Amino acid sequence: MIADVAKEIGLNWLIYSSLPETLEGFEGSKYNIVAFYGKNRVEKYIRALGIPNATFIYIGFYTSNIGTVYPIITKNDGTSEFVIPVVKEDTTIEIVDAETDTGPVVAKVIEEGPEKWNGKKVPVASERISFGKIAETLTKVTGRQVKLRTLNPEETKKELPSLDRSLDMYRWLNEYGVFRSEISDISVAKVLHPNITTFEQYAYKTWVIKTYISKFKII
């Protein structure tokens, strides 16, 4: 793997994208989320490998998943539903426009150097926001009422079958958000990238355009 190659060639600094452990090392329920614990175990491996410097980038919930992975469904009465499994109105997550904002955060980390960031976990998230607030923001931005509709496991199998195997992730979000206690202070992301995109800003640049085009039946 890339970490072994980095060690073999004497790389001075490795930057790796990680997420929290979800199965081991803490009390309480255990969540089988391979996308999380798989990354975390590579992080642990890198830490033990003896590379001189290593930094770990923790990326939040992707704004781009809203309206794609998690559909926004327009009903006959003109209102819309934001559909996602298991989560609650007050479930709060760390969110980011990953496509736009990951690069600037990582670039600033590189600029500041390994002396400052060796061994650190760096959040890439603009804010903590609830799923209910996401729906409210979409309502504000589009001018159409958007309500959150959460699916129970049986409904998920029927309506979003591709997400059926990911239910533990949504249960995790309910309890811990994305980062859990791995990163309690996400303000460092804004220090590194002052123009990091809030969800409302993302919604304006994404959903206003979609709403405008849809009025002319192009989509």
Token pair, residue 73, equals 């469904």
Which pLDDT score, from 0 to 100, does residue 217 have?
35
Q: Is the pLDDT of residue 111 over 50?
A: yes
Question: What is the distance between the alpha carbons of residues 10 and 50, in angstroms, rounded to a whole number?
Answer: 10
Instruction: Give pLDDT tens digits for 131-144.
Output: 999 999 999 999 99
> What is the pLDDT confidence band of residue 211, given thresholds at 50, 70 and 90?
low
pTM reported for the whole predicted model: 0.91
Helix (H, G, I), strand (E, B) or coil at 216: coil
pLDDT (mean) for 204-219: 56
> What is the pLDDT confidence band of residue 215, given thresholds at 50, 70 and 90?
very low
E-only strand ranges, 39-107:
53-59, 61-62, 72-74, 80-85, 92-96
pLDDT (mean) for 77-104: 97
Token pair, residue 21, equals 């452990």
Domain spanning 2-215: CATH superfamily: NAD(P)-binding Rossmann-like Domain (3.40.50.720)
Residue 74 contacts residue 140 (beta carbons within 8 Å): no
Burial of 113 (0-12, 13-18, 19+ CB in 10 A): exposed
The position carrying tokens 């129970």 is 152
Burial of 10 (0-12, 13-18, 19+ CB in 10 A): exposed
Instruction: Give pLDDT tens digits for 176-200.
Output: 999 998 899 999 999 999 999 999 9
Q: Which amino acid is at 135?
A: A
Say which DSSP state 70 is in. B
pLDDT, the chain, mean: 92
> What is the pLDDT confidence band of residue 3, given thresholds at 50, 70 and 90?
very high
Instruction: Give pLDDT tens digits for 41-80.
Output: 999 999 999 999 999 999 999 999 999 999 999 988 888 9
Q: Is the pLDDT of residue 210 over 70?
A: no
Query: What residues have CB less than 8 Å from 68, skipping those under 6 apart?
Result: none
> What is the pLDDT confidence band of residue 219, given thresholds at 50, 70 and 90?
very low
Of 83, 78, 86, the closest CA to residue 67 belongs to 83
pLDDT > 70 fraction of the chain, expressed in percent and rounded: 92
Residue 126 contacts residue 197 (beta carbons within 8 Å): yes
> What is the pLDDT confidence band of residue 213, given thresholds at 50, 70 and 90?
very low
